Structures are given as structure tokens and as C-alpha cells.
Structure 1
């Protein structure tokens, strides 16, 4: 294959730009195609959210080395950035460096990737044939050939539906005007939408925690604000996290904050609720699980996560796990059915390879439908992948990452049956009088994380 061809990187978020920095460091030519009008567009969709992990866990080594050559310094390694901070204080300066600036095209949405003059059926010469990347911008459609493709486009464009069967709940489309996916800015831009209203939050991850914490704060300021939290778990014990034992202390603080709101009665948790339908009534929108109905609400926040969109890679030969939709070798390491304590080890090119050599899905998208992704994991992924593309197989195989501990490792809970994974690493939870779990201080393993709160009292996430 022509070594002068660029490596196309899809997405100019933190993992995509880290990939570009590593490519430059290896003497390879990157071309970054970003659908948004500016770099970090995905992070700016949750600009108000403060991350769980401090700056030092959110900056890539090759990217920071490139920035430092131009006078940039990481001002507060132990501070906790928001999505806006990451985009404006890290990604924008990185993209503006003279090395990267001419190699980034914003407003350029990739719509398909294939092999040049080889459709998915063709075998002959496939591995030695360049990729064809088609993208669209304000001037129309364009094709470019590439020696390799690194897809770091993330998952935020395709939210999960709210229905318990993986499909939209019946009536979900009809009430779409009253549904927000992800993390609205409850205490800022979107305050008027929720103040004094009845709000249903669906989901049990850290994105839901962020929204619940902000809504609970709003309830103290705006009389009439009522919050119902619907989650499928039979108790909240499993989802509250590591508390004071979490090495990412801001993530632990968020779980403790939700526990306090529950104990104070500010939040009403509806556990064991499997959403089947949403119905507009004269009293409001009613969510149902069979014959069980929740109180009518005015607004719904769907914090049920996102799923990867692989349609742009449909003409390539991918090996994706049928459950998680992650690369098949990575899937067993991240499958939440097997890793309820988040014991995901660092990984690289070996776990990310596909039958079509030279294409790699990295960052949050590499996890498919699995949660708990750390930016550090994505940076290690692209370091390994780029080393492999450059032919440095020894470096590609090395592990150069030590993940922070979550502080809690519990793999079986009282609400789970005998089909649950065995408890391999620590003691069961200790339950207090409110029925909420407290974790033993000795229980620690390496873990990932999800998205977090916009306020310092409950700061949050690590997202790609």
C-alpha cells in the first residue's frame, strides 16, 4: 500500500486528536475529519458537565507534548474540567497548533468507508488496497484514499431508546417534544424547562445521577419541582458506586449525593421498573410497566446511554460482538454481564483489530453498548494502534497505562439471582437502615466511568 497516503481519523474529539498527535509523532500523515463545525463538538453538547477525573487523567501524552512545544501548560493537574473546559482549553489549542491545523477539516461528515474499487465481497488484493473515505461538507461529496482508518466518532449521535426491550417504548415518538436525551443543563440554559415541573428521569448510570442531582438542587429553589427516577434494578444499591472509597473521588461524591437526596425524600426512586409505554393524558405523560403506572409528569429526561452507529463502516469487514457491538476480542473484557465491577484491563491493537486490516474503532465507540469508558483507555488504544500502523509491533503490544481504582468491586447484589456472575473480588455490600449499600474500604479494582454532573458538588465524567 502507498505509504504516502494519510491515515484518516474520524472525529476531532479528545481521542481523535490524540490519534492525530501520535501519528505525527511517528512521522505519519493524519487527516482528521470532524462532522461538527469545531473540534470537541461532542464534548460541547455537555459543556456544563464537570468530569469525575482530574485534568491529569484527561490529557494525552503525545497531545500535551505537542502543545507544550508551543508554550501550553497544564495549569491545574488536580482540577476537574467541564466539557467546555476540555474543548476550549485543551482541544482548541491542540487543533490550532501549526502541525495539526492544516490536517483537520471541520464541517466534514464521513458518510461511508470502503476499500478502493473493492466492495465487501471482493477478496483479491484486499489487504493491500487503500481505503476509500467518502465525506460531505458545504461544497458537496468528496472521496479520499487512506492507508488506514481510525474511527473515533463516538456514540452521542445515536441515543438508546427508553423501552426495556431495546426498542422505543410504545408512544415514545408521540411525546418526543417532551423528551431530552443525555444531560440537559438543568441549572443553566434549560432551567425554565424544568423549574416547577414534574420530571421523570429514566436510567441508572452516571448521566442519570448528574441530572438527578441538578434537578434535586433545582427543587430546593423552585417550588413545585417534582422528580421521579425510574430504573430497572430492584434496588438502588448496585448503582450508587464507591462513595468515599472511590479513587475518582468526585464520582464517589456524586453517588453519595444521590443517596442523600433519596433519604431526604427529594427524589422518588421507582425500582424494578421496565418501561413499556408512554401515554399522554389530561394529567400529563404517564409511564407504564404493564399494569404499573408512574405518576403523571410534564417532562422526561432519557439518560439511558447511547449506542454505536456502524453504518458508515458497513462496506468493510468488521468483527463485532453480537451482544455489546464491540470488537469481538474486546467484548469479553468490557461486557457488563461479566464485569459488573468494571475490572477492565488496558488494551490496544490486538483487541481492536478486524478482518479488514487497517481499520480501527477506538474511544467510546469501541465499547459498543457497554458503559464505563475512561479517556485514558482511549489514549492507550490510539497509542497502541498508531504504533502498529507504523510497524512498531513491540510498542503496539506493550501496555503503558495504569488505571485509577474505582474503590468498589461488588459483583453480586441482593437483587440478583443465581444467574449473576460469582463474586470474584470482594465482600458483599453492607446495607444501612435506608436500604442503601455501603462498600467495604478494602474493595478496590481498576474501572472506567461514565458522564457526570455539571456542578462541583457532584462532579463527573470521562467521555470520548
Structure 2
């Protein structure tokens, strides 16, 4: 009988958020990790969608054990209610975490895991199997291959590198590989309004898929349609019912995600996006562009496009695990006991129960798949879920069964996840009585919310038909003055809304009078709250004053104006209000010039 080697490290595949959280938990337990990351740095997959914001705020994206490692280093925690870009997740969280000495010593970058097995035996051998160390074969950037012996393996490598095919029945359509080789099918989630803008501007772009990444991509393309002449967008989905493509709107437990469907519906109804329902892709043909043929209830249809963006979801790469004894759910390719808990036809990200080592275990003892990859083909994963998974797994590896079995999550209830914005391109077309399309990812990779880094980097985004929402607390003074000044200065070329976080009953009479002195009449305005209709129609939200706070809304630029408050200097009455007005006037003039593209 072979003695188990508990002196060996625990291998972690992937240095993303869940992989580093695994390492943090191991370090707290006094267990040595070794982390293999195929990219050149931590979070390499996230860096590829760094221009994208997550649906979930920071409070759901920071692992507790990782926080405890970071706090003694002087790390500055982000505002927990704000929504991070992918790039911010890396720069403000993963990179500082990787710099912690204990993590840094365990990290191996440019180290691609090509196989996992047991030392001295393949999958078919059983005698003393669980006492044998694991063998992890790693190839480095220079082509060197080395076998590492480890006591346990936690695979957190994700699914980003393995998108689902575009054809029917889970298979690539004829001509799909050739179209990809020709560069006519892009990578998922390109930076359409940023670095990749020139690739798409003025082209006929097709999007296939009905998931959140499709919605994100389409919102960005909608901006190009408005601002880049000649840009045309076609969107093909398998489903027949267009209404279910737009999700839950205001009913969504994650408001940022709920806004996706509302804004997307507007782009379709306004004619900026051509929607093709009941479309099953059957072939691709490469010529000067790309001919995409699909079957529809009215017969075959061929669309000639310049580029196609896939948005059909992802699946796990199980090839490196061929010599590991896995027990997978036959439907979603998750661990067998987890599969029924995450089936997207029945569960959303907020209704999946907390689960840990006992649910994630496989026949090969001390081997686990965690994070996004543990969900297989199901797209309803949350980072918080992954963090609780690995906390429990590490407790089990440490022999603390009580802690391993006590699993808990506090997540937003998001039932609409299972009733709209479906994922796979191969979801059957259904009538209203049939099962809904599977949901796309809620908060974690690879389905976060597309947005851009800032207005100043790309004023074109807002020059035509710009929409601005001014927000103060009561919507009786500062926001109303800003709205009145913007309407006056832009002559209706900018759509202007005002709202309050806690609206009062009436407008401030001195605010009305101060604008009347400039010939601007806002006496007919009334106080109001922020509505979904406003958010669907604006590109920029500006909060005014020290007390107004609006959480980050993905897809919308957010700014804050810390306006002058003369009362702090003992100035009150109309003298105070004129000073406040004049401060806002200067800011609004600058903004109006920016939105018009005037940089003088």
C-alpha cells in the first residue's frame, strides 16, 4: 500500500478570481499551493474582456480569505456597491492579491496544464489509487514539459477559451471553421466601441445567440449604428418569441442586468437592429464577405454580412482530464450532484443553493472542478458561488469536515435569469407553453455587461442624440437647474432628464427664480424618481451635490459634480442660489461643448 503524500502541494489550475481564492484558503490552512496559469499574468482570460463591466457589485466579487490576505498589505478596498470592469477586477484585486508573498511564491505563469493523472497509473487501474499522488503535466512558454506530483488538484480553469459552436445540435455548421480561419467570425465580446471600433464601423455585422453576451454586444453595436454611417446590425436567434429575449427588466434582482433587456428592446423597436427569429444556422460560405444560411419557418434564408460575432455561450474543456475518474451530469457536464441544482431551465444564479466539497467530489478522491468550469455548460455562475465552493473544498482537504459541510451564500434573488436572455444558439424554438431558453451568465465571466471606459476617450459615442440624466436628492433644485441650462444651451439636440434619489414635493422657488433671471423657465417642471425609461434613453448620469448617490449602471457613463455650497461660507438666500446656479452653469456649458464635439 502506498502512503499518501500530504507533504506535497495542492495544484490549482488557473489564476483567476476563484483560483487565487483557492490559494488564499489553502494558505490560511497552512497547506502549500502551486498555481499553474497558462497566461503571462493572473486573470489572463479576464484581461481579454477588460472593457466589460460585471453585473454584480464588488461586494459579491471579493473572496473573504483573499481579503484577509490583502488587508495587512495596506490594500485599498474598492467601493463595495460599485460595479467593476474586468480590467478593474484584475488591477484593483487580482494583481495586488498575486503580489502577496505567499501567493507570489506559489504562482507559475505561462504554465499550461496539458494533462492530469495519477502517478504510475492510468484511469483503468484501481489498486491503491487514492493513495497515489496526482501527476500534473505542465508545458511552459519555451516548450519545456515537466510533470509535477501533488496531493490534490482543484481545476478552476474556466470555460472562456471554449465557446459553443454556431451550428445546430451542438455542432459546428459546415464552413464554420473556414470562416473562423478567414477572420470573418470574431472572438466573443470584442471591444466594439473601443479598441476594435474600426473593425466594425460602417460594416454589416451579424450576431448569433440569445444570451447576455449577445445583448451586451448588440448594445455596443447599437451605438455604432447611431454614430457611424453605414453600420448595419443583424441578430439571429433560434427562439420564435421575441418578447422573452429581453429578460425581466425592472423585476431583475440585479438592476444592472435588468437594464440590458430594456435597452435592447428599444434598439430593435427603433429599427437599429434587424431581428431574425426562428433562425437555425446551417452553413457558412466565405467569399468577399460571409454568407450565413439558416433555416426558418418560411424556408432557407441567406444573409450576406461582413463579420459575425458569436454569442452562443461556452463549454468546459475536459480533454486534459481524460485520465481522471470524473462523474459528470449527462446534461450540463457539471459534477453529477451539482447538475440538477444548476440546470438553467429551472434555476437562476440567485436560486442555486450553496454547495461545497461533497457536491463537487469525483470518484478520484481529492480532485475537484470549481468556479465557472464546475457549472459545465450552465451559464448561471456567480463569483460568490465559486468562493464558497473553494472554501469548502479546502476545508475538506484540511480534514475539517464540519467546516466543509457548512455552506452558505447570501445572493440576490434573480428568478428572471431562467426566463429570458437565453444562451445557446441551439435552444429549440418554442411556443409560450414550452420551457424557456436557458439563461446566460449572471455576474461572472464570460457574460458580464459590456460598457466603455469613459466619455472623454470617445466623444463620438454621445454626439448624436445624446441623453443625459441629472440627479440630486430632492430633484427640486440643482438637478432641475442643470436640466434647464442644458436644454437652453443645446436647443434640444441633447435629451435631458432630471430626477431625485428621494424626490421632494415641489421645486425650490429660488432655483426657479435664479434661472428666470437668465430667461430660462423651469416652473412647469415637477419632481420625480429615476425610472427604467430614463435609464434606457441616456448615455450619461451626473449626480450633483454631496448627498446624491446612484450606484453604477453598466452601459451608462457616471459622473459626479461636487457643486459649490456657499452656505458653508455663511452665504444664504438668493445670493447663495445665484452662486450655485453660476457654478452649475459653467459645468453645463463645458459638458454641452463636449457632447457637441467642440474641443475649443
Within 1, Cα distance between the matches of 2:194 and 2:434? 43
Q: Partner residue of 2:495?
A: none
Query: Structure 1 pair 410/372, CA: closer, same or farther in 2 (3 Å)?
Result: closer
Q: Partner residue of 1:393?
A: 401
Residue from 143, 146, 149 that aligns with 2:147: 143
Within 2, Cα distance between the matches of 1:276 and 1:451? 28
Within 2, Cα distance between the matches of 1:80 and 1:183? 18
Q: Partner residue of 1:454?
A: 451
SS in 1 for 2:22: helix
Residue from 53, 56, 59 that aligns with 2:56: 53
Q: Partner residue of 1:208?
A: 214
Residue from 289, 302, 307 that aligns with 1:299: 307
1:180 paired to 2:186:
yes
Shift of 1:400: 2.2
Within 1, Cα distance between the matches of 2:293 and 2:328? 34
Q: Partner residue of 1:434?
A: none
Residue from 254, 261, 286 that aligns with 2:260: 254
What aligned pairs does 1:24-103 form with structure 2 within 5 A after superposition? 24-103=27-106
Q: Partner residue of 1:159?
A: 163
What aligned pairs does 1:348-359 form with structure 2 within 5 A after superposition? 348-359=356-367
SS in 2 for 1:408: helix
* TM-score of the pair, normalised by structure 1: 0.89
1:133 paired to 2:136:
yes
Q: CA RMSD in A?
A: 2.2
Question: Contact conserved, 1:344 with 1:447, CA < 8 A, in 2?
Answer: no
Aligned structure 1 segments of 4 or more residues deviating by more than 6 angstroms = 446-449
Question: Contact conserved, 1:341 with 1:408, CA < 8 A, in 2?
Answer: no
Question: Contact conserved, 1:277 with 1:289, CA < 8 A, in 2?
Answer: no
Shift of 1:280: 3.5
* TM-score of the pair, normalised by structure 2: 0.70
SS in 2 for 1:179: coil
Question: Contact conserved, 1:278 with 1:287, CA < 8 A, in 2?
Answer: yes
Deviations 1:201-238 (A, max 9, x none): 01111111111000001111101111111111112322
Within 1, Cα distance between the matches of 2:193 and 2:93? 25
Q: Partner residue of 2:280?
A: 274
Shift of 1:98: 1.1
SS in 2 for 1:79: coil
Question: Contact conserved, 1:336 with 1:342, CA < 8 A, in 2?
Answer: no
Question: Contact conserved, 2:36 with 2:112, CA < 8 A, in 1?
Answer: yes
SS in 1 for 2:56: coil
Within 1, Cα distance between the matches of 2:350 and 2:328? 20
Question: Contact conserved, 1:403 with 1:447, CA < 8 A, in 2?
Answer: no
Question: Contact conserved, 2:38 with 2:112, CA < 8 A, in 1?
Answer: yes
Structure 2 unmatched ranges of 5 or more: 423-428, 454-538, 540-552, 556-600
Shift of 1:404: 1.0
Query: Structure 1 pair 23/108, CA: closer, same or farther in 2 (3 Å)?
Result: same
Count residues in correspondence: 436
Deviations 1:376-403 (A, max 9, x none): 1111110111111111111111122111
Q: Partner residue of 1:324?
A: 332
Question: Contact conserved, 1:342 with 1:448, CA < 8 A, in 2?
Answer: no
Shift of 1:350: 1.5
Within 1, Cα distance between the matches of 2:451 and 2:140? 33
Q: Partner residue of 1:376?
A: 384
Shift of 1:415: 4.1
Shift of 1:48: 0.4
SS in 2 for 1:165: helix
Larger radius of gyration, structure 1 or 2?
A: 2
Question: Contact conserved, 1:344 with 1:448, CA < 8 A, in 2?
Answer: no
Shift of 1:279: 2.4
Q: Partner residue of 1:220?
A: 226
Q: Partner residue of 2:560?
A: none
The 10-residue stretch of structure 1 (38-47 or 450-459) with the greater mean CA deviation from structure 2: 450-459
Query: Structure 1 pair 341/43, CA: closer, same or farther in 2 (3 Å)?
Result: closer
The 10-residue stretch of structure 1 (35-44 or 227-236) with the greater mean CA deviation from structure 2: 227-236
Q: Partner residue of 1:335?
A: 343
